A and B are shown apart, each in its own frame.
Chain A
Amino acid sequence: MIELIGIHRNFQVGDQMVRALDDVDLNIADGEYVSIMGPSGSGKSTLLNLIGLLDRPSHGSYRLNGQDVTSLSDSELAAVRNREIGFVFQMFHLIPRLTAAENVALPLILAGLPPEQRQPIVAGALAELHMTDRAQHKPDQLSGGQRQRVAIARAIVTQPKVLLADEPTGNLDHHSGEAVIRILEALNKRGITLIMVTHDLEMGQRARRRLRMVDGRITEAQHGAA
């Protein structure tokens, strides 16, 4: 359960104060499928970063699964991120010198899991994404769609409750993008909360709950069948 109350996020740019988020209230229940749309600079990514504990609000309160996370230290936030949240990025963010399996294993390595325990988990995640035969390939040996599937495998390897996707199809052709969205939707159907920032209206419309942001505020919220 995500609860944002009166969230502000201000940035100092030169001598100007920029309000990236302006008094945002948002509740997202477990298992929801939410898309966030809006023009560039409207605050979508800032909101996603804040939900993903990569950033802290200037004001306001954020409760994740009942825990106030605004007062946690950087190390505590890192632990919560590792355990509760999975990220899927537009640019995939795979480490080029590591194989697909090693990239997927990263969150488990950071969690301190021994190799014998993480190996079957990594293999399972890759199998789920139909990437078993590419496990030992490096990112530059994979297509864009395959890279994003590796990135999704990495995002779900710790079995997080929340999956945050920032333009997950932005770097993919239509066919690959469609495949990636289906994977994310399948994960959502298994109970993972899916929050996706997108410019793509068609992709955004597939979410059951659609938020539109303008100038740091949520201006419109629509609910509908996905």
Chain B
Amino acid sequence: MALRSSDLLHFSWRALRGFPSRTLLMLTAMAIGVAAVVLLTSLGEGARRYVTGEFASLGTNLVIVFPGRSETAGINPSTMMGETPRDLSLADAQALLRSRSVRRIAPINVGAADISWQNRSREVVILGSNHDLLDIRHWAVDQGRFLPETDLDRATPVAVIGSKIRDELFGPKRALGEWVRIGDRRFRVIGIMGSEGRSIGVDVEETVIIPVASAQQLFNTASLFRILVETKNREAIETAREFIIDTLQQRHQGEQDVTVITQDAVLQTFDRILGALTYTVGGIAAVSLAVAGILIMNVMLVAVSQRTAEIGLLKALGAAPRQILSLILTEAVMLSAIGAAAGMGLGQLGSYFVRVAFPVLPAYAPGWAAATALAVALITGLLFSLLPARRAARLDPVLALSGR
């Protein structure tokens, strides 16, 4: 003899409504647990998507060459700063174009210098590169044009300036075609970078881009900070990587003294780290679900003792132990489900507010987190109500009827 599902749900629903403060307490506990999982994982996922998105915007066919060899410690600060015995030269960069896997390269030189126009000046980051940098980094020019397509070693006195620098130096006046002084040299402004060129490590709105040979003269150096190499497609990355290592080894008297990393590898590393972070915060939040489960168990135990006479009555009217068990379990699962649904709504609302407050952060809870939170809430509710349900099912009907 089994209770009909509709009767089970109806009876449990009436029982929940019959004890509103107890029900509200348990719903709140479960809702907070689920909301915490949803909100925290949406933050973690938002951070992951933001960082990986920024890297992906640099292009996934990208190979980066650093001077210096990292053996076991990966990329270290000295590698990043280019402090190595043998420099990367423009000729090295030029040599990489011989590979059929390589579509384009952008040698990079970086430094800081004062830029001035008339009586206004400020210090800026100077990026020395070539015309291919624009496509490799997926940047866009707002006004004018980017660096001209010339030989790498030609130090043309032209500059592409960021929009903020344009605003600070020229104000409302026209900047294109004007001559500015950078360090002790003069450059003609040929282009203004748009605001969409922001990417990790570089804010093009506050950067001045000049030909790489001009930068080398300006900073009095023959070495490069790094070389960006774009391969023809994703499949060509490995071939290009091997070609770069071999070529530079030959050019550097047989020494492997460069570090070659792929954009994919960086992307995957960040993806892994931030993915692990999402799992971790999700796990921490899930602890609150377990706490909610313990609360459900305690409150259900109290509920069973408060309703002892009612359980005794049901037994007298012919309720089998399994029917009592199913009644108590249905109540707990119903509570968990409603609490979880409310928590899901709260969590999504919280994520929405995060997205409104920080538009760059795509704070959406991952599907697995939402599904897991719901499943854990239901399973927790079910597991933690087993003890009170079994206790209710085993109540002696005579003692229960007398409320003992």
Residue numbers of A with Cβ under 8 A of B are 49, 52, 54-55, 74-75, 78-79, 81-83, 87, 89, 93, 95-98, 102, 106-107, 109-112, 114-115, 154, 158
A48 CA / B3 CA spacing, docked (Å):
27
Total A-B Cβ pairs within 8 A: 77
Report how far A18 CA is from B7 CA in the complex, Å: 41
B110 in the interface (beta carbon within 8 A)? no
Q: Does B353 reach chain A (CB closer than 8 Å)?
A: no
Task: Please encode chain B, from 330 to 357, with 1 for each CB lying within 8 Å of some chain A CB and 0 for all others.
Answer: 0000000000000000000000000000
As a 0/1 sequence over residues 202 to 238 of chain B, the CB contacts with chain A under 8 angstroms (1 = contact) are 0000000000000000000000000000000000000
Q: Does B14 contact A98, Cβ atoms closer than 8 Å?
A: yes
In whole Å, how far is A10's beta carbon from the nearest beta carbon of chain B? Answer: 14
B321 CB contact (under 8 Å) in A49, A75, A81, A115? A75
Main SS at interface, chain B: helix
Q: What is the minimal beta-carbon distance from A224 to any residue of chain B, in angstroms?
A: 31
Q: Which residues of A contact B68 (CB under 8 A)?
A: none
Q: Which of B3, B319, B322, B323 has the most CB of A within 10 A?
A: B319
Of the listed residues A98, A102, A110, A154, the one surrounded by the most CB atoms of chain B closer than 10 A to its CB is: A110
Question: For residue A52, which residue of chain B has the nearest CB?
Answer: B316
**CB within 8 Å for A78 and B7 given contacts A54-B401, A97-B15, A112-B2:** no
User: Is B74 positioned at the interface, with any CB of A under 8 Å from its CB?
Assistant: no
A205 to B3, CA, bound (A): 41
8 A-B residue contacts at CB 8 Å? A74-B320, A75-B1, A81-B317, A97-B18, A106-B314, A109-B4, A109-B7, A114-B4
Give B19's nearest chain A residue, CB to CB: A97
B69 within 8 A of A: no
- A74 and B321 contact, Cβ closer than 8 Å, known pairs A54-B398, A97-B15, A111-B1: yes
Q: Report the minimal beta-carbon distance from B386 to chain A, rounded to whole angstroms.
A: 18
A93 with B401: CB separation less than 8 A: yes
CB distance from A29 to the nearest CB of B (A): 24
Listed residue (A52, A79, A96, A112) with the most chain B CB atoms within 10 angstroms of its CB: A112
Contact indicator per residue, chain B 4-22, by CB within 8 Å of chain A (1) or not (0) = 1011000100110110000
Q: Does B1 contact A112, Cβ atoms closer than 8 Å?
A: yes
Please judge, given known A-B contacts A82-B1, A110-B3, A112-B2, whether A54 and B316 are in contact too, CB under 8 Å. Answer: yes
Of chain A, the residue at the smallest CB distance from B316 is A87
B379 interface residue per 8 A CB criterion: no
Beyond A78-B315, A115-B7, 20 additional pairs, beta carbon < 8 A? A49-B398, A54-B398, A54-B401, A55-B398, A74-B320, A74-B321, A75-B1, A78-B1, A78-B319, A81-B317, A82-B319, A87-B316, A93-B316, A97-B14, A97-B15, A109-B4, A110-B3, A110-B323, A112-B3, A115-B6
Cβ-defined contact, A110 with B14, below 8 A: no
- Contact (Cβ within 8 A) A54 B321: no
**B317, A107: Cβ atoms under 8 Å?**
yes
Chain A residues within an 8 Å CB radius of B312: 93
The 3 A-B residue pairs with the shortest CB-CB distance in the complex, in nearest-first order: A82-B318, A97-B18, A78-B320
